Structure 1
Amino acid sequence: MKQATTIDEVIQFLDEIIEKSKLEQSNLGLFATLYREVTVKVKEGIQDGSFQNGERMEKLDIIFANRYIKAYYQYKAKEKPSECWGFAFEQAEDFWPIVLQHLLLGINAHVNLDLGIASAQVSTIEDIESLKHDFDQINAILSNLVAGVEKCLIKIWPTLTIILKWTGKIDNFCIDFSMETARDGAWKFANEFVAVPENQREACTQLRDGRITEIARLVSNPGYFVSAVFKFIRLFERGTITQKIIDMQIIEQKNMECAVA
């Protein structure tokens, strides 16, 4: 199973997933595109000293990313990844989920399950509190995912701005799945998981996985009204899957250029 040993290798794997997704017209490339930007920003943050412990943050980032990379290649090999990732990947093969849902399904699995586990794996019960600052820093970067979601959606379907203003329930859907809530839940889980004996961690992971999959099901089916609006949005999304991925790459590149400027 492919696994990265450096942040540069993480970026390389993400590039491979994105390019393969373009060739296959696969929605799996949507989350990978946003996640690549996050990884690049974490790398830059380590280089410019934004984190209190750059060495630990690099280790955390690699463990964190490898959980996604492993799940992706397990799914492609028709093996069984974690339940929440399996659900997210299966939804990528369905016509109806909109770009927003594909991205939130990836964020849900990666933050609500993977981030807490990765944080615990680079910590001990005694020193995990010292990770809090850098944990919040990486989540500040991850929060840009949510900010970038609307920009990507508006690019793909400009009329979305009208619908977002017209239907407060859509805004509530996004607020309910907030990065702040995910961050707090992931940190709480990290503190619980670090105290779990090694021989009980698999069972603890499976229990958490099941709970996060329930959130995924709500993202996939958020109720009659919101689902109906999403189906309407989906019918008018512009471009092929490959074009949507390319649009997102262009938007994220512009975001990075603005940040540098």
Structure 2
Amino acid sequence: MENISQVLESLDEIINETEKENNVLGYFAVLYRRVTWKVKEAIENDYFDDARRMEQLDVVFAERYIVAYYKHKEKLPVTKSWQKAFDLATNFWPVTFQHLLIGMNAHINLDLGIAAAKVSEGKNIGKLKDDFYRINQILADLVEEVQLNLATIWPPLWYILKHTGQLDNLMTNFSMQLARDGAWRFAQTLHNPEGKEYKDCVQERDIAVAKVADIITNHKPGIRLLLGVIRLGEIGSVRSKMCKLKTITT
């Protein structure tokens, strides 16, 4: 792929395929398409310092997810981080939100740093930092939208968000702040590994990110019970949930 339009086409293919298969891997694909479209709009509106570089970053970043998805379909090895996400898809009990989080974990905590280092090869990676952090703002702008979408899948979530003041914080702490900062540090490490092998740096990071995936899926009995209640209360088929996640809710 050479541009964001091709990325969007590839994501549409994954979405169409997962819809037909009623496959929960489509949840992340839908979310990621929304993020990619927002990045495309931002590039066209001169939001970034270097639009050409950011399109390149977006393409390299997206390719890591798309390649991982098709490798999984072909039963080929993928990173431990992505394997955790793909394995979760065979389990009935995870709620929609967990599927989104575990995909975001692999893609932001591992893939984003790799992509940033790649587009900075032979260059000063520090010049990328401001635009790298602007990506975080684009993600943050989607927080409320996605939470409202999730509330249409499990209606009590809207009441909980409204009355606990968590409307802006449910996803932010996990993906937009801690993951962003970690991804930037990882990109710097890959750009200047200081005597370590590149592949060893990636492997170490992959193992650490896979452990974060366990935090998303393994909980104490009380939390598991609550998530089980949520899962049983989620409305609709996988396809209908994907449709709700696609919708821009206001």
TM-score of the superposition, structure 1-length normalised? 0.88
What CA deviation, in whole Å up to 9, does each residue of 1:90-110 have, x standing for no partner? 101211110110000111111
Distance 2:246 2:54 in 1: 25
- Aligned residue in 2 for 1:54: 51
State the one-letter code of the partner of 2:239.
T
State whether structure 2 residue 3 is matched by structure 1 residue 16: no
| 5+ residue gaps, structure 2 | none
Shift of the 113–31 alpha-carbon distance from structure 1 to 2, 3 Å rule, reads same
Distance 1:165 1:248 in 2: 19
TM-score of the superposition, structure 2-length normalised? 0.91
Shift of the 179–83 alpha-carbon distance from structure 1 to 2, 3 Å rule, reads same
Query: Structure 1 stretch 23-32 or stretch 159-168: which is displaced more?
Result: 159-168
State whether structure 2 residue 193 is matched by structure 1 residue 215: no
State the one-letter code of the partner of 2:36.
T
State whether structure 2 residue 150 is matched by structure 1 residue 157: no
| 5+ residue gaps, structure 1 | 256-261
Partner of 2:197: helix, strand, or coil?
Answer: helix
1:142-221 superposed matches below 5 A = 142-163=139-160, 174=171, 177-196=174-193, 200-221=197-218
State whether structure 2 residue 126 is matched by structure 1 residue 129: yes
Identity, % of aligned positions: 45
Shift of the 53–176 alpha-carbon distance from structure 1 to 2, 3 Å rule, reads closer
Aligned with 1:67 (options 47, 64, 69): 64
Aligned-residue Cα RMSD (Å) equals: 2.4
- Aligned residue in 1 for 2:26: 29
Distance 1:198 1:122 in 2: 21
Query: How much has 1:143 moved relative to structure 2?
Result: 2.5
Distance 2:102 2:56 in 1: 25
Q: Is the 8 A contact 2:24 2:99 kept in 1?
A: yes
Query: How much has 1:244 moved relative to structure 2?
Result: 0.2
State whether structure 2 residue 242 is matched by structure 1 residue 245: yes
Distance 2:62 2:196 in 1: 23
